[in-house]
Amino acid sequence: MAMHAMHRRRFLRWGARVTGVAAAGLFVSASGCSSSNNNVVKIVSSLPRTGSAQGQTDTIVNGIRMAMEEYNNELFGLKLVHQDMDDATAAQGQWDAGKEADNAREALADPNVMVYIGPYNSGAAKVSMPILNEAGLLQISPAATWPGLTKKVPGDDKSGEPDIYRKSGKITFCRVCPNDFVQGPLSALFAKEKGYKSVYILDDKELYGAGIARLFKQKCEELGITVLGHESIVATQKNFKTVIAAIRDKKPDLLYFGGTSQSGGPQIAIDMKGEGLKCPLMVPDGCYEKAFIDGAGVDTFKEITCYATIGGLDPKELTGAGAEFVRRYKEKFNKDPEAYAVYGYEAAKVFLEAAKAVGTKDREAIREAVLKTKNFDKGALGKWSFDPDGDTTLRVLTISRIVNGTFQPEKSISE
């Protein structure tokens, strides 16, 4: 027994040493980070950088950096730095609430951070918005489109949106992309124009996907398009054959999927082909990315007609400064920008212009200046303003068809 005791003591000593080292490591690392220098101004972005949204977020980050380079990476005579934070985990393959909250707090803790660009997903915005709002840090999302983040959604008396995100009474969140009040209804309008009489709706049950599916459905009912059914899928099931087979028997003119290419979009197209559901598929901007086409396979869209919608314009349709942006982007990175690259660029640009006018490292003054932006035309999207809720006045929807592995803009509708 004595021997066991001895053994045990040695382990304990060892354990104590390990803990000591670990704890010391954490403490030191904590101090190491606080010693950041004050001669920089920081833009942070929090986007899903792991997982299939990466293709899209890569180009958003490229857009941000292109805007920064136009200012020679300098602001107020200080060095302008971009910190690229990831709000996704490999384990989930998409955004994670804990990670997004961590990012928001990390941004707040650094006094050099003047703007938080992101997130990409509306569900993630729900997490970071209240945190950033209380501390009064400006947040510009290039891609989160759920309307409830900025406006009260008609018929929603329960959630308390958007006031629950604005505890401080100030508005800190704005977005440069049109919200789903534009996208959902206008998609339905397009379906009507195409002469579809009946539609079946699927969604991924996320804030964004289910939200846009509901807005689409409401408008369809108004327009007299028969909604044959509305169902949620489970993205992790990775196989929707049965769901599609059941829809096939209902013979809809159109299948609408509210979701992203991370939450099952490509697999739905694959299974439509496999199960012989021949009607067209319509997807929102969460699928408006190359990852969607690659995931489903180019040849799948030879048999399945697929319309994808996006707020604003497709990069191919941009004119003037926008076309110039696309040209420079191609020159610099040797590939076409994804649809949201221009919104990354625009978000950084609107911040930089306002901050330049303010001229000092003052979070509050910069926030006010950005939200007051009116008739902004220094970016790539043409002339637009922020409305009182922080939404863009740009209210256009582009509908593209997937042809030969690319999005071919077919029509642009505005309200």
Partner 1 sequence: MSLGRMWVLLLFVALAVYPFLPLAEANRGEQFTILFIYAILALGLNVVMGYAGLLHLGIAAFFGIGAYTVGILTVPFLPFQQSFLVAALAAVVVSAAVGIAVTAPILRLRGDYFALVTLGLGLITLYAIRNLDAITEGTKGMNPIEAGPLPGIPDTVDMSAWRLRPDWSMRWYKYPYLYFLSLGTLAVVMLLLRNLEASRLGRAWVALREDELASACMGLNPARLKLAAVALGAGLAGLAGAFYAMALRTTGNPQAYDFTLSIIMVCCVILGGLGNRSGVLLGTFILMGFDRIITNILDNELQALQQRLNLGFGGQAYTKVSGWKLMIFGTVLILMMRFRPEGLLPEARHQRELHPEVAEAQGEAAAKIEAGETIRDK
Partner 2 sequence: MFELLAIHPAASEFGQFLILGLVLGSLYALIAIGYTMVYGIIELINFAHGDLFMLGSFLALGIASGLGVLTAEAGVAWIVLTIGLMLVATPLFCATLNVTIDRFIYRPLRKSPKLTVIVSAIGVSFIFMNIGLFWRGATPVKFPDLIADTNLIDGTGLRFTWKDAMVVGITVPTMIGLTVLVKFTTLGKAMRATAQNPHAAQLMGIHVNRVIAATFAIGGALAGIASVVYGLYIKSVDYQMGFQNGLYAFTAAVLGGVGNIPGAVLGGLVIGVVGELGKAYLGAKWSEALIFGILIIILLFRPTGLLGARTREKV
Residues that bind partner 2 (CB under 8 A): 50-52, 54-55, 90, 93, 205, 231-234, 236-243, 245-246, 249, 266-267, 270, 273-276, 291, 294-297, 299-300
51 backbone φψ class: left, alpha, beta (φ>0; ψ -120 to 50): left
- For 205, list phi and psi in degrees, rounded to 5: 75, 5
User: If contact means CB under 5 to 8 A according to the sort of partner, which of partner 2, partner 1, none does residue 331 touch?
Assistant: none
- Distance of closest approach, residue 58 Cβ to partner 1, in angstroms: 5
CB contact set of 161 (below 8 Å; sequence gap of 6+): 148, 149, 152, 153
- Distance of closest approach, residue 330 Cβ to partner 1, in angstroms: 17
Q: For residue 112, how many other CB atoms are within 10 A of its CB?
A: 19
Q: Judged by CB, which is closer to partner 2: 325, or 340?
A: 340
Residue at 301: amino acid letter: F
**Which residue intervals of 96-233 are DSSP H helices?**
97-109, 122-135, 180-193, 207-223
Q: Judged by CB, which is closer to partner 2: 82, or 205?
A: 205
Q: Judged by CB, which is closer to partner 2: 50, or 187?
A: 50
- Distance of closest approach, residue 410 Cβ to partner 1, in angstroms: 31
- Give the 3-state secondary structure of residue 85: strand
Q: Judged by CB, which is closer to partner 1: 103, or 373?
A: 103
Q: Judged by CB, which is closer to partner 2: 85, or 243?
A: 243
- Distance of closest approach, residue 95 Cβ to partner 1, in angstroms: 8
User: If contact means CB under 5 to 8 A according to the sort of partner, which of partner 1, partner 2, none does residue 242 touch?
Assistant: partner 2
In which residue are the tokens 């604005």 written? 166
User: If contact means CB under 5 to 8 A according to the sort of partner, which of partner 2, partner 1, none does residue 246 touch?
Assistant: partner 2
User: If contact means CB under 5 to 8 A according to the sort of partner, which of partner 2, partner 1, none does residue 98 touch?
Assistant: partner 1
In which residue are the tokens 């709000």 written? 87
- Distance of closest approach, residue 263 Cβ to partner 2, in angstroms: 11
CB contact set of 96 (below 8 Å; sequence gap of 6+): 87, 88, 89
- Distance of closest approach, residue 143 Cβ to partner 2, in angstroms: 18
User: If contact means CB under 5 to 8 A according to the sort of partner, which of partner 2, partner 1, none does residue 273 touch?
Assistant: partner 2
Burial 131-165 (b: 16+ CB within 10 A, else e): bbbeeebbbbbbbbbbbbbbbebeeeeeeebbeeb
Asked whether the beta carbons of 376 and 350 are under 8 A apart, the reply is yes
Report the candidate in 210, 204, 271, 212 with the shortest Cα–Cα distance to residue 233.
204
Q: Judged by CB, which is closer to partner 2: 65, or 230?
A: 230
- Distance of closest approach, residue 80 Cβ to partner 1, in angstroms: 12
Q: Judged by CB, which is closer to partner 2: 208, or 351?
A: 208
